[in-house]
Amino acid sequence: MTQEKKYHKPVLLKESVDALNIQPDGVYVDVTFGGGGHSREILSRLGSEGRLVAFDQDEDALQNKIEDERFILIHQNFQYMRRFLRFHKFEKVDGILADLGVSSHQFDKAERGFSNRFEAKLDMRMDASRKLSAFEVLNEYDEKKLTFVLKMYGELRQAPAMAREIVHKRKENPLETTGQLREVLKRFLPSHRENKILAQFYQAIRIEVNQELEVLRSFLGQTSQMLRKGGRLSVISYHSLEDRLVKRYMRDGMFEGQPEKDVYGRVEVPFKRVGRFIIPDEKEIQNNSRARSAILRIAEKL
């Protein structure tokens, strides 16, 4: 098994790279390098003059770096995409790919604290150098702020009661591990829905820790500036909060309000959507359970 397959199984690999409509001499960006699966596929389609720039904020991803003179790996969060592309003298690019969410490696590495399957410290940082972790969110946020996080990012009906219970229990002892957290939440976890509720809870805390939606908004806003006319944007998302932002930006070029119209009443938007969304087939879902919730959207710069 190759290193990148052990690290992360690429989701919708062929479909997301096909979406870029790769030109052999083009410049492409993979903003979520991870195990390098999507990057390797892109490089396999590039000629000697083509270039690929990849981003990943996770220190662990650096061990998967590809030795290829056409490739640059930048150890940064993709919210800084435009800054670093321009630093490397790329004013415009031909395609941008993003595979959002948590990598298989991050879920499977117990000490990262992303999964409720393991006993581990409450962490959930994609960039381990950041100060804010799940520990600070669960032990330092007041009840109102914690309720907001659980309701907004986890869409949990019992968010107020969960937040109240956490604030009460942490007065006795700080919440330090996934096991302690499960114990505090046990009355909210009926056996037939335990895993689903825990997944929603972990999603909420993870999004807050990594400021995922703010980062996504920042990234998407840069894509229309960095893509040249005819360039493609290929984005895989895994939950409705992400997908809503991607869909809205590809359609309207903004996240709120309505796009402006010209004097003839025509809407001025930066992208046109390419086809309908794509989801994995049953075979891929059987081979990779993480693919179950994936949805790929594609847009082309006007």
Q: What is the pLDDT of residues 124-149, one digit of tens each?
A: 998 888 899 999 999 999 999 999 99
Asked if CATH classification 3.40.50.880 holds for the domain at 113-210, the reply, yes or no, is no
Task: Report the sign of the C-alpha dihedral through residues 57, 63, 64, 69, in that order.
Answer: positive
**pLDDT of 228 higher than 70:** yes
69, burial (CB in 10 Å: exposed 0-12, middle 13-18, buried 19+) = exposed
- The Cα–Cα gap between 103 and 291 comes to 11
Token representation of residue 11: 């989701």
Per this entry, what is the length of the chain? 302
DSSP character at residue 187:
G
Q: What is the pLDDT of residues 193-213, one digit of tens each?
A: 999 999 999 999 999 999 999
pLDDT tens-digit map of 54-92: 999 988 889 999 999 999 999 999 999 999 999 999 999
- What pLDDT score does 60 carry? 86
The answer to whether 40 and 4 are in contact (CB under 8 A) is yes
pLDDT band at 107 (very low <50, low <70, confident <90, very high): very low
Q: Is residue 171 scored above 90 in pLDDT?
A: yes
Q: At a CB cut-off of 8 Å and minimum separation 6, what does 44 contact?
A: none
- Is the per-residue pLDDT at 1 higher than 50? no
Residue 109 has pLDDT above 80, yes or no: no
> Residues spanned by CATH 1.10.150.170 within the chain?
113-210
Q: Kindly provide the b/e burial profile for residues 163-181, where b requires at least 16 CB atoms within 10 angstroms of the residue's own CB.
A: bebbbebbeeeebebbebb
Q: E strands along the chain, which residues?
A: 27-30, 51-55, 71-74, 93-99, 227-237, 271-273, 295-301
Band the pLDDT of 117: cuts 50, 70, 90: low
- The domain made up of 3-104+212-301 has a fold known as Rossmann fold (3.40.50)
For 249-265, letters b (16+ CB in 10 Å) and e give bbbbbeeeeeeeeeeee
The residue that leads in pLDDT, 275 or 2, is: 275
Q: What percent of the chain is predicted at pLDDT more than 90?
A: 82
* Helix, strand, coil tally for the chain in percent (to 5): 45, 15, 40
Rounded Cα gap, residues 108 and 106, in angstroms: 6
